[in-house]
Amino acid sequence: MAYDPKADPPELPTVKGDMQEITQQIQAVLRKVSKIPFDTLGEDAHVLMTTLNATVARLDTTLARTDKAVLPEVRDALRELRQTIEALRGATSPDAPLQQDLRQTLQGLGDAARALRTLADTVESQPESLLRGRRESN
């Protein structure tokens, strides 16, 4: 619409702008805000805080009990585990008594296996030696 200076009453031409859109958006926000139940929010927050405080108190009690009962047992178990690991480290060194005993045992088993092999060879070549004994070798 163009401006007509002779019009009575005078009409000023306007262009539809962002102001109407902004006004509508503000009204929509205000409608949403008016739906918020502010009167019950305070009560809900109080209930939430009471529940939260009770939960924290229970957690504090549980942690205190854990400190007194469980942690000493865990500490003792870790100490025993360290001792076991140290004992195993000592047992794996070449000069450790366990290693020496194991070497002697394996050597004895090797000697016994050789003796059995000799016996088997003798019985195979001289089966009568089981009844009469071994022949003397001259």
Q: CB of 122 within 8 A of CB of 128?
A: no
Q: What pLDDT sits at residue 16?
A: 65
**pTM across the whole model:** 0.33
47: tokens are: 């209930």
pLDDT tens-digit series, residues 60-84: 888 888 777 777 888 888 899 888 8
Q: How many CB atoms lie within 10 A of CB 100?
A: 11
4: tokens are: 């007509």
Is 126 a residue whose pLDDT tops 60? yes
Is 30 a residue whose pLDDT tops 80? yes
Is 28 a residue whose pLDDT tops 60? yes
What is the rounded distance in angstroms from the CA atom of residue 76 to the CA atom of residue 78? Answer: 5
Is 49 a residue whose pLDDT tops 80? yes
Domain map (residue ranges) of the chain: 38-92, 96-124
What is the rounded distance in angstroms from the CA atom of residue 115 to the CA atom of residue 109? Answer: 10
Q: What pLDDT sits at residue 112?
A: 92
Q: What pLDDT sits at residue 3?
A: 75
